[in-house]
Amino acid sequence: MSDTTIEFSPAAAPLAEKLLPAALEIIARYPEGRSRSALLPLLHLVQTEEGHVSPGGVAFCAEVLGITKAQVGAVATFYTMYKRRPTGEYLVSVCTNTLCNMMGGQEVYDRLNDHLGVGHDETTADGRITLEHAECLAACDYAPVVTVNYDFAIDEATPETAIALTDSLRKGELPTPTRGARICSLKEMQHQLAGFTDERDGAVGDGPAGASTLRGVTLAQQHGIAVPNFNLDAPINKTKPAPREESKGKVAMAAEKAAGAVKAVAGKVTEHRNSGRPIDAGDAKDPEVRTAEARNPTGGTPDKTGTTEVASPAPANPAEAAGVASNKPAGDAKPAGDSVGNEEQK
């Protein structure tokens, strides 16, 4: 695909002029014929320019991928990380899910709501802060947590620390996060989510790792636990694993052994749960299907003449026979069980 083969509509042309080289680079990451898989990073790419997915962004993604705008819109409206209206320079998310809520997350959100004068998914008048409550930010051991543009900014947050964070951001300051990478703008974060590296010098070295994250390492050091012959500088093997048939690991061998045991048990004769008749448990057919075929063996043969009479199923046990005898089949649109036939009414 090249830029000379794509004719963009007036709605998509402004973004294509700015983003097409990067878009083609993203699409090139995917196998031929699978370019539609590039839609997610392309939507993030659109947000690097506009801060949200605009109608023009939808048109650009659709036209560069050769799909419909409806298909793009279906994805853009499904994921909350794609914003459908202008978003502030800093997206401040407060986790209000179960554990963070118990630890004060809702209070943090409510105080920010009052302090900033905006609610969920709303932006301050200066365009700096968009506030949102998040269902889960996957950091329960640091609850409650606050993120800025999806990077952790405050662990064990309080209303006071959260307010101080937003005040600093509105002043143009970038406070050091509790842990994680240096705070960046939402557009800069979208550039990373589109699959491009963070080019800011030392950006990933700002926030230290948290104590909970390092707990395993700390315990290992205290107790002198180490992996024998571990080499930190050993290269990662990037070759494809051998086919399962050629190289079976312990897990695969254990799974095959378990499957063999199941087959051995399945070969034994068991009792049908309803009729009590012995059946072969190795039969792959569903018991209900097998029972239906036993009662009406000709039911699977199509009637090409239209004259075949439907045979009543044979009772499978005395209780069923008694039930059939006391409840004659309905006819002439009469409800089942009605003891008065149409002929008796005439």
For 79-135, the pLDDT digits (tens) are 989 998 999 999 999 999 999 999 999 999 999 999 999 999 999 999 999 999 998
- What does the longest C-alpha to C-alpha distance in the chain come to? 97
Helical H segments across 186-333, by residue range: 186-193, 215-222, 250-266, 287-295, 318-325
What burial class does residue 241 get, using C-beta atoms within 10 Å of its C-beta: 0-12 exposed, 13-18 middle, 19+ buried? exposed
The confidence score (pLDDT) of residue 274 equals 46
Q: Which two tokens stand for residue 304?
A: 């090409």
Q: Looking at the predicted structure, is the pLDDT value of residue 2 above 50?
A: no
180: β partners? 207
Confidence of residue 235 (pLDDT cuts 50, 70, 90): confident
SS3 141: helix
Helix, strand, coil distribution of the chain in percent, nearest 5: 40, 10, 50
Query: pLDDT averaged over the chain?
Result: 80
Asked if residue 153 lies in contact with residue 165, where contact means CB atoms within 8 angstroms, the answer is yes
Phi-psi region of 6 (alpha: psi -120 to 50; beta: other; left: phi over 0): beta
Strand 122-123 and strand 90-95: pairing?
Answer: unpaired
The confidence score (pLDDT) of residue 275 equals 47
Q: Looking at the predicted structure, is the pLDDT value of residue 255 above 90?
A: no
Fill in the amino acid letter for 20.
Answer: L
For the ranges 57-61, 232-236, 278-282, the lowest mean pLDDT is seen at 278-282
Q: Looking at the predicted structure, is the pLDDT value of residue 6 above 90?
A: no
Separation of alpha carbons 133 and 116, rounded Å: 14
The confidence score (pLDDT) of residue 272 equals 45
The confidence score (pLDDT) of residue 271 equals 46
Separation of alpha carbons 52 and 91, rounded Å: 12
The confidence score (pLDDT) of residue 305 equals 53
For the ranges 41-50, 111-120, 245-254, 318-327, the lowest mean pLDDT is seen at 245-254
**Using only C-alpha atoms, what is the Rg of the chain?**
33
The confidence score (pLDDT) of residue 296 equals 58
Distance, first Cα to last Cα, the chain: 80
SS3 310: coil
More confident residue, 330 or 170: 170
Separation of alpha carbons 151 and 91, rounded Å: 10
Separation of alpha carbons 286 and 87, rounded Å: 55
For tokens 């964070």, name the residue.
165
The confidence score (pLDDT) of residue 248 equals 54
Q: Looking at the predicted structure, is the pLDDT value of residue 292 above 50?
A: yes
From residue 112, give the alpha-carbon distance in Å to each of 29, 61, 119, 139, 152.
41, 35, 9, 20, 17
Q: Looking at the predicted structure, is the pLDDT value of residue 342 above 60?
A: no
- What angle (nearest 5°) sits at the alpha carbon of residue 70, between those of residues 64 and 76? 80
The confidence score (pLDDT) of residue 109 equals 96
Q: Which two tokens stand for residue 104?
A: 């004060």
91: β partners? 130
Q: Which two tokens stand for residue 113?
A: 């709501």
Q: Give the CA count within 13 Å in the CB-facing half-sphere of 64.
A: 33
The confidence score (pLDDT) of residue 120 equals 94
Pick the closest to residue 162 from 179, 149, 145 (CA basis): 145
For the ranges 26-35, 87-96, 209-218, the lowest mean pLDDT is seen at 209-218
